[in-house]
Amino acid sequence: MRSRSSNSSSPPQPPRQSRRGSGLFWREMLDVLALGVWSAMLFRYWFGGKLLLLLHPNYAWLSNSAAIILALLALYRAWQIFRATSASRSASASADSAHVTLLPGNLSSAILLTVAIFGLIYTPRAFASQTAVQRGISETLSLTRARPQRFERAATPEERSIIDWIRLVNVYPEPDAYEGESVDVKGFVIHPDNWPDNYLMVSRFVLTCCAADAYPVGLPVKLTDAAARADYAVDSWLSVTGQMQTETLDGRRQIAIAPTAIRAVEEPRNPYEY
Amino acid sequence: MVQLNTGFTLFLSLLVEAVPFLLIGVAFSSLLLFFVDDRQLVGILPKNPLFGALVGSLIGVLFPVCECGNVPVARRLIVQGAPTAVSIGFLLAAPTINPVVFWATWVAFKGQPEIVFMRVGFTLLIATTIGWVFSHQADIGPFLQESVERSRFRGRGGETSAASPAETDTPALLQGGTFLAGELGGSFQLDTPVAQRLVANPVIEQSVASKFELALENMVRELRELGAVLVFGSAIAATVQVAIPRETILSLGQGVVSSIVAMMVLAAVVSICSTVDSFFALSFAATFTSGSLVAFLIFGPMIDLKNIGLLLTVFKGRAVFYLFGLAALMSFALSLFVNLYIG
């Protein structure tokens, strides 16, 4: 509002009011900054491609639209301040003294600005094995959480991703049914504590909405003869090809990959599955 | 270090997912504030207590405001003489039963749609019941703060336009932000020019351009305040996830009763806006019982720390206590039912 901002430099004001007006000016600038930096942060995730680490791609457009709207709001506020300043309006510095809030307005703006600056500097990372363990990777083969929203049996077994396999096994749990099917999956390495040394797990996080609900899924890989899992560092990304077979792990019969080839790969641009 | 990274990523993810919904929420509430004439609404409200409470609970569909915006609107309804059942129903249900919140909850809980429907259904049930209970008090007057009570009678007599001490709190009715109790006196008087501009019926006396300007300004202000609360909420959610050992969370979150109590306390303390609280709840979805998530989602929008301050600007302490008690007990009972028989 025009009337809310007053000019700090207009000469004929009593000192008290002038000080107040100047405080108001900076406060409004803080608003503009907070809005602008928030927008910049969202733009950065949008064009830097890191948005996929935070959100399900279906909702990227929401964040992208927010980036645009926040930018427009910031511009609008800046224009208002500019207009008020150049018009030398000394109208009531009432501001929103009528508006008593839980947090003082300045503090709110400052918090928002700080968080946005942090978001602008900090590069989000994909979740890794430690989080997977924290979130209960060991339970994923008897998955309770991932009810398939759609269920289609991939035409060929080697096209299935880790989550496709898990969903399949949840629907039809008999491991022998998959004996000998080809597997070709990518994921990061976890060394579950209670597994013998010749097993590792390739896993992925699955999102339904955003990183907050990411849950880990994984498939056991039975390493052949001499190779030990220590050869494959935790959190490194592997592409594993081989055949499915039935093994007994954790006292339970379950599918495991008998690999024919294990290659180290780069972390994919989009590390999650959906 | 890994924990820290996970925490930051979670924190940002919650914020980035929630901010668009927060924007939609404040945009709606700001536009409605200045473009909808709720006095016309009051004229057609049903007088039957039960039906009135139900209708009141559903008005939120027309006023998509979260719990910070709905107290001022409810207050406006009371002042303009809306039946008690309608006002109370609206007060409790509007933050949940509205399109923006429904959409946000749907986005968050697409994998468990029953949570979305339980949220809406239970809120409707609780709000209607409490509205109905309150309507047995023939005159709501004794429950109201004196300033509201005074302006209520004035409101019946005619339009509020003269600047008198009793009216200095009226702008609160028209602003969708947050207010604290005990601030009705001096601080508003500093602001009488703005107050009068707003008290004069905003729908009739403002040009579209200036209404739009007011709405935008209101939007920025709400965004600032609710955004700061959202930042706190996200920080708490992220911290709980990475800092507290999984065993502790599981033992708390898998308990049929303990999970509900924990989530209700969290809902009351965190005070996160109802347009974005589903994302907060989502981060607990893997470890907490469905009933406790439902408890969080129905109880939080009705009563929380931030909101109690707001409620006290309208109601006396005793009435707020009844509202709080009834809402808490019913939320708890329904969530327990979910945990025992559905979840």
Give per-residue pLDDT as tens, A42-82. Answer: 999 999 888 888 888 888 999 999 999 999 999 999 998 88
Distance CA B81, CA A121 (A): 52
ipTM beyond cut 0.85: no
With contacts defined as CB-CB under 8 Å, which chain A residues touch B229?
A: 102-103
Q: State the count of interchain CB pairs (< 8 A) between A and B.
A: 181
pLDDT-wise least confident of A171-180, A260-269, B66-75, B218-227: B66-75
Helix ranges restricted to H, B135-257: 146-157, 171-174, 186-189, 192-199, 202-205, 208-243, 246-253
Give domain A129-273's CATH architecture: Beta Barrel (2.40)
For chain B, which residues score pLDDT lower than 70?
Answer: 38, 65-69, 138, 152-206, 343
Angle of the A15-48 helix axis to the B208-243 helix axis, nearest 10: 60
Task: Determine the pLDDT at residue A40.
Answer: 95
Q: What is the four-CA torsion angle of B73, B78, B83, B87, rounded to 10 degrees?
A: 40
Compute the nearest-CA separation of A101 from chain B (Å).
5
- Whether residues B191 and A210 touch (CB distance < 8 A) is answered with no
- pLDDT value, residue B205: 57
Asked whether the beta carbons of residue B309 and residue A102 sit closer than 8 angstroms, the reply is: yes
Tell me if chain B has a CB within 8 Å of the CB of A123: no
Instruction: Name the residue of chain B whose CA is nearest to A136's CA.
Output: B246
Task: Name the band, by pLDDT with cuts 50, 70 and 90, for residue A212.
Answer: confident
**Token code pair at residue B160:** 């509020």
Q: Where are the domains of chain B?
A: 2-342
Cβ contacts of residue A175 below 8 Å, gap of 6+? Answer: A169, A244, A246, A253, A254, A255
Q: In this model, does residue A149 exceed pLDDT 90?
A: no
Per-residue confidence (pLDDT) for residue A71, from 0 to 100: 95
Predicted local confidence at residue B193, as pLDDT: 37
Alpha helices, H only, B244-289: 246-253, 258-270, 277-282
- The residue count of chain A comes to 274
Burial class (CB in 10 A: 0-12, 13-18, 19+), A239: middle
pLDDT of residue A152: 58
Tell me whether residues B219 and A59 touch, CB distance under 8 A.
no
**Which runs of E-coded beta strand occur in chain B?**
none
Strand segments (E) across chain A:
182-190, 199-206, 215-222, 237-249, 252-265, 272-273
B171 class by beta-carbon count within 10 Å (0-12 exposed, 13-18 middle, 19+ buried): buried
Structure tokens at A103: 């947090």
Answer whether A16 touches B (CB < 8 Å): no
For chain B, say whether A127 makes contact (Cβ under 8 Å): yes
Kindly state the average pLDDT of the residues A185-191.
91
Q: Which long-range contacts (CB under 8 A, 24 or more apart) does A38-42 make?
A: A38/A70, A38/A112, A38/A116, A38/B19, A39/A67, A39/A68, A39/A70, A39/A71, A39/A74, A40/A116, A40/A120, A41/A116, A41/A119, A41/A120, A42/A66, A42/A67, A42/A70, A42/B16, A42/B19
List the single range of A189-198, A221-230, B83-92, B230-239 with lowest mean pLDDT. Answer: A221-230
* Residue A184, pLDDT score: 92
- Write out chain B residues lying below 8 Å of A99, CB-based: 175, 177-179, 221
A130 to B190: CB separation less than 8 angstroms, yes or no: no
d(CA A2, CA A87): 10
Nearest neighbour of A55 by CB, restricted to B16, B110, B193: B16
Max mean pLDDT among A161-170, A177-186, A249-258 falls in A177-186
For range A85-100, the mean pLDDT: 48
Q: Which residue has the higher pLDDT, A89 or B266?
A: B266
Q: What is the pLDDT of residue A237?
A: 93
Residues of B in Cβ contact (< 8 Å) with A215: 286
Q: Tell me, what's the pLDDT at A150?
A: 52
Tens digit of each residue's pLDDT (9 = 90 or more) over A117-128: 999 999 888 888
Residue pair B28/B248 in contact by the 8 Å Cβ criterion: no
pLDDT of residue B68: 65
Distance (Å, rounded) from C-alpha B141 to C-alpha B45? 19
CA distance A149 to chain B (A): 7
Give the residue-averaged pLDDT of A245-257: 86
pLDDT of A107 reads: 85
B307: CB partners within 8 A, 6+ apart = B67, B68, B71, B271
Q: Domain-by-domain residue ranges, chain A?
A: 2-121, 129-273
List chain A residues with CB under 8 Å of B283: 212-213
Q: How many Å lie between the alpha carbon of B36 and the closest alpha carbon of chain A?
A: 21
- Rounded Cα gap, residues A254 and B6, in angstroms: 30
pLDDT in the model for residue A229: 79
Distances (CA, A) of A190 to A219, A229, A248, A254, B3: 10, 9, 18, 17, 16
**Residue predicted with more confidence, A38 or A17:** A38
Parallel/antiparallel/unpaired status of strands A272-273 and A199-206: parallel
Q: What per-residue confidence (pLDDT) applies to A73?
A: 93
Closest CA to A272 of A48, A80, A50: A50
Q: Give the residue from B104, B97, B98 showing the smallest Cα distance to B120.
A: B97
Closest residue to B194, CB basis, from A98, A208, A212: A98
Q: Is A154 left (phi over 0), alpha (psi -120 to 50) or beta?
A: beta
C-beta of residue B178 within 8 angstroms of C-beta of residue B313: no
Query: For chain B, percent helix, then strand, then coil, each to nearest 5?
Result: 75, 0, 25
DSSP SS3 for A216: strand
Residues 133-192 of A with CB under 8 A from B: 134-136, 145-147, 149
* A63 touches B: beta carbon within 8 Å: yes
Nearest to B10 among A51, A97, A212 (CB): A212
Comparing A213 with B21, the larger pLDDT belongs to B21
For chain B, say whether A62 makes contact (Cβ under 8 Å).
yes
Q: Least CA distance to A34: which residue of chain B?
A: B224
